[in-house]
Amino acid sequence: MIKNISNLGDAAVYCDFGTEVNKSINSNVIKYFNSIKEKKFKGINNLTPSYNKLIISYDLKLTNFNEVKSYVESINVIDSITSVSKKIEIPVCCHEMFSMDIKRVEEKLNLSREKILDNFLNKEYFCYMTGFIAGMPFLGDLDKNMRVQRLETPRVKVPKGSVALTEQFANIYTFESPGGWNVIGNTPIDVFDSSKEDKPNLINPGDTVVFKEITLDQYKNFNEQ
């Protein structure tokens, strides 16, 4: 299932599952992720599954690339423990006060603001992975006519709650952070809660997400209800 294994620097193994992004490749990544996580190989200190890659970080004081690579090649992959996937509704306000890249998206896609929001809102998204910043979900897939590249220079600060697009994906900035995605709205809810150490993420890989548009007034009053 892994197409190629190489080193990423001297403290990580880079497992390539292919170049496509689809649920079938992603579920292979997750199977490996679960299997390796389960077995606790000496020195492995982090795993990062993504659409079609798995990065295995290790402590170079305890092991090295060849040991971890051989281990990955030898493991019996267990079928991922099927967790219950949830359907989550995320309120989003697309008022111009939040949608700072809507003009750019309109120009790049040659679509009107209304058409873009219409496409974006009337859709169910699959969560492929979480990360970049704590709890940020990577959601797909946007239709072919909705795909736009990252900003040429990433922003130093993207506001917390920003809902943004890049290529076939949407995401939510769970914290203020640097970032290069095209921001089209903002959600008032907390998608990450560090006080819940067991389950800090509202959205997890495998979950389904829908966005529901709210007005600026609803946004402002959201946390006072």
Interacting residues toward another protein by CB under 8 A: 6-12, 14, 19, 21, 33, 37, 45-55, 57, 60-61, 64-65, 129-136, 138, 149-150, 152-154, 156, 166-167, 169, 174-178, 180, 192, 194, 197, 200-201
CB of 84 to another protein, least distance (A): 18
Q: Rg of the chain's alpha carbons, rounded to an integer? A: 19
DSSP conformation class of 206: T
Q: Which is nearer to another protein, 50 or 214 (CB)?
A: 50
Distance separating alpha carbons of residues 13 and 7, to the nearest angstrom: 5
Report the SS3 class of residue 19. coil
- Encoded tokens for 115: 């058409």
Beta carbon nearer to another protein, 99 or 201 = 201
What element of type H or E holds 90?
strand 87-92
DSSP single-letter state for residue 192: B
Side-chain-side CA neighbours of 177 within 13 Å: the count stands at 19
Structure-block tokens of residue 76? 């019996």
- Minimum distance, C-beta of residue 210 to another protein, in the bound complex (Å): 22
CB of 82 to another protein, least distance (A): 17
Going by the DSSP 8-state scheme, the letter that residue 85 receives in this structure is P
Give the residue with the Cβ less far from another protein, 29 or 92: 29
Angle 102-109/113-121 helices, nearest 10 degrees?
A: 100
Closest to another protein by CB, 20 or 73: 20
- To the nearest 10°, report the CA torsion of 68, 71, 75, 77: 10
Q: How far is the CB of 114 from another protein (least distance, A)?
A: 27
| Residue nearer to another protein on the CB measure, 50 or 99 | 50
* Comparison of 82 and 194: residue with beta carbon closer to another protein: 194
Q: Which residues are registered as beta bridge partners of 47?
A: 56
CB of 12 to another protein, least distance (A): 5
* Least distance from another protein to the Cβ atom of residue 95, Å: 26
